Amino acid sequence: MAELSRDEAVAFLLGGGTEEEREAVERRLFEDETVADEVAAVEDELIDAYIAGGLPPSERGQFERAYLSSPERSDKVAFARALRERLSSDVRGRSIQGASGRPRALLAALAAAAVILLAMSSFLFFQDAKTRLELERARSEIAGLKTSNDQLAQQLEKTRGPIAAEPPSSRQPEALIASFELSPALVRDTSETRTLVVPKSIGEVRLILPVEEGSGGTYQATLTTVDGAKLWTSGPLRTRAEKSKNSIVVGVPANRLSTNDYILTLGRVDAKGRIRDVDDYFFRVKRD
Partner 1 sequence: MAVRRPAGFRHNSLRLTSRGKNWVLRSGAFEKLLLTLDPDRERAAEKYEAIRRRLVQLFQWRGCLSGETLADDTIDRVSRRLEEGEVIRASDPAIYFYGVARNVLKEYWTEQRKEQTLERSSGPVRETPAGQWDLDHQEVDERLECLDRCLAGLSRENKQLIMTYYRSEKSGKIADRTELANRLKLSAGALRIRAHRIRGQLEECVTECMGKRADG
- Of 207, 209, 208, 203, the C-alpha closest to 177 is 203
Q: Does 188 bind partner 1 (CB under 8 A)?
A: no
CA distance 21 to 202: 54
Q: At what angle do helices 102-125 and 71-97 cross, to 10 degrees?
A: 80
Helix (H) or strand (E) holding 67: helix 57-67
Query: Smallest distance from the beta carbon of 220 to partner 1, in angstroms?
Result: 7
List of residues 6+ apart from 188 with CB closer than 8 A: 226, 280, 282
Q: Does 26 bind partner 1 (CB under 8 A)?
A: yes
Q: Does 273 bind partner 1 (CB under 8 A)?
A: yes
Q: Are 95 and 102 in contact (CB under 8 A)?
A: yes
Nearer to partner 1, 29 or 124 (CB): 29
Query: Smallest distance from the beta carbon of 269 to partner 1, in angstroms?
Result: 7
Query: Smallest distance from the beta carbon of 199 to partner 1, in angstroms?
Result: 20
Query: Smallest distance from the beta carbon of 250 to partner 1, in angstroms?
Result: 9
Q: Does 87 bind partner 1 (CB under 8 A)?
A: yes
Nearer to partner 1, 129 or 241 (CB): 241
Q: Does 224 bind partner 1 (CB under 8 A)?
A: no
Instruction: From 121-129, 143-151, 191-199, 215-223, give the range in contact with partner 1 by CB under 8 A.
Output: 215-223
Question: Quick one: which of 134, 157, 192, 277 contacts partner 1 (CB under 8 A)?
Answer: 277
Q: Are 257 and 178 in contact (CB under 8 A)?
A: no
